[in-house]
Copies of this chain bind each other. A is one copy, B any other.
Amino acid sequence: MLKALLEPKSIAVIGASRTPGKIGYVILKNIMNYGYKGKIYPINPNANEILGLKAYPSVLSVPEEVDVAVIAIPAQEVPKAIEECGKKGVKVAVVISSGFSEVGNVELEEKIVKIAREHGVRILGPNIFGYAYTHLNINATFGPLEIEKGNIALISQSGALGIALMGWTIMNEIGLSALFSVGNMADIDVAELSELLADDPNTKVIAIYLEGVKSGRGREFVEKMSKVTMKKPVVVIKAGRTSRGMKAVASHTGSLAGSDALYDAAFKQSGIIRASTVEEMFDIARAFAQQPLPRGENTIIITNGGGVGVLATDAAELSGVKLIEPSQNLINAFKQTMPWFGSPRNPVDLTGQAVVDNYIKALKVAVESPEIDNIVILYCRTAILDPRDLAKAIVEFYEENKVNKATVISFVGGQDTYDAMKYLNRHNLPSYPSPERAVNALSKMIWYKKFVEHKTRK
């Protein structure tokens, strides 16, 4: 049933509008313009045609099957629409409309769920901005159009933040496979969507903005998510960490259960990675999306600057990333890659004199050494090494050698450094503006790898 969201042959937009700016207009336009190849049915009793498509007075009058119906009509009219969806055999109703439990109208929300259950329709929402599945060019949201394609699935319990994050991901070229606004979670909830995404071949990692799990469903959440995390990494930012934040959540999403310590325990038990900020959530998700899982925990830092090397070393120690003590053999090998005053230990300091060649030689040693599982590449802007040249060479090296050691990168400097990192990110080498952020992302990958291994062994 739920799977229809990821493979609809047709989408109806109930409440499709001819008026630019209206939600029913924007959603229809986004579905069309983002390139969905299935059938699209605008539903509006007062229109024959909308945006060049034939419109129907009711979903019941559509001549063919309808898999998914997006509903953007006043709350009071939603029950009837759900009933019609049921009669029509619609699998999932994506209820954009607000005016339900979030404004105290619990009864109306219970009513639509009851009708949906009677007719075997599943409900996403209500009170959401829609959903997207980029692999099939579905953008059924009233957010921005040009969602970047990729393999991070994003679930947001906050509508406003979710839309803002769409813009954020576009600006930062963070590729999404899917995007779900869950709103009031009257029926489909975060855990169920995670289960769906765990089996989606286009999703590598699931990122969630969570305000809370519904009262009484904590155990179910842990059980379901424990299975999900065995298939895919899940990164959560949980809002309402403090009692005051919790109060703010309550006034925002409606009453939710559990203290933050409970959530923390639940996440740990389920193998969920917890991020502290929105930035960190995407930092971690990008690493999982772009890199193979770490083979082990043994990590080397390669740098051209002592300062960034120290910052990364601190970050590694503080986040539990194991920096190896290179063997004499390895030390000798690294020695060949650097000027005489460089340091062949860990961090491997190629010195400020390093050029592309030094980096590639050192990377070659690191990739070939069985002592090393993971690589942190750092670069500090110098006059003699253009970061864009280095980025190109690294990408070439990784592609040619099909490197499968988990790697994170940080280049520190100005605009050209930033451009170089953009290039690295586009080529699946996750790069971060500070060494600490790079190392932190890697630490979560290693933690996840260990969690899965440990659980599998049991």
- Chain A positions near chain B (C-beta within 8 angstroms): 21, 26, 103, 142, 144, 156-168, 170-171, 209, 211, 237, 239-245, 247-249, 251-253, 276-279, 304-311, 313-314, 316-318, 323, 341, 343, 345, 347, 349, 352, 380-383, 412-418, 433-434, 436-437
Contact = CB atoms under 8 A, between A and B. Distances in A.
A242 B21 CA distance: 55
Ranked nearest first, the 7 interchain pairs of A and B with the lowest CB-CB distance are: A167-B414, A158-B307, A161-B307, A252-B306, A242-B317, A160-B305, A245-B314
A310 B211 CA distance: 9
A349 B249 CA distance: 12
Nearest to A142: B383
B239 A307 contact: yes
17 contacts: A26-B383, A142-B383, A144-B414, A160-B305, A160-B306, A163-B381, A164-B414, A167-B412, A167-B417, A244-B316, A245-B314, A247-B313, A248-B306, A251-B349, A252-B349, A278-B434, A279-B433
Given A158-B310, A252-B310, 10 more contacts: A21-B383, A159-B352, A160-B306, A160-B308, A160-B352, A161-B305, A167-B416, A171-B418, A239-B307, A239-B314
A192 to B, nearest CB: 21
A380 B161 contact: yes
How many subunits of this chain does the assembly comprise?
2
Contacts of A21: 383
B164 A380 contact: yes
Contacts of A279: 433-434, 436-437
B276 A307 contact: no
Interface of A is mostly: helix
Contacts of A314: 239-242, 244-245
Contact of A251 (B166, B249, B343): B343
Contacts of A164: 305, 308, 380-381, 412-414, 417
A160 B304 contact: yes
Contacts of A341: 103
Contact of A167 (B168, B171, B307, B415): B415
Contact of A245 (B310, B382, B416): B310
B160 A249 contact: no
Residue of A160, A163, A168, A278 ringed by the most chain B CB atoms within 10 A: A160
A138 to B, nearest CB: 20
Contacts of A167: 381, 412-417
A180 to B, nearest CB: 15
Given A209-B307, A343-B251, A434-B277, A414 B170 contact: yes
Contacts of A307: 156-162, 209, 211, 239, 252
A430 B316 CA distance: 30
Residue of A211, A307, A317, A318 ringed by the most chain B CB atoms within 10 A: A307
Contacts of A276: 436
Given A310-B249, A310-B252, A278 B165 contact: no
A160 B304 CA distance: 8
A380 B163 contact: yes
A171 B414 contact: yes
Contacts of A168: 412-414, 417, 433
Given A167-B381, A248-B347, A437 B241 contact: no
Contact of A239 (B156, B310, B380): B310
Contact of A412 (B278, B313, B317): B278
Contacts of A160: 304-308, 352, 380, 382
Contacts of A211: 307, 310
A305 B168 CA distance: 15
A377 to B, nearest CB: 15
Residue of A103, A308, A313, A415 ringed by the most chain B CB atoms within 10 A: A313
Residue of A164, A171, A249 ringed by the most chain B CB atoms within 10 A: A164
A166 B412 CA distance: 10
A248 B306 CA distance: 8
A318 B241 contact: yes
A239 B311 contact: yes
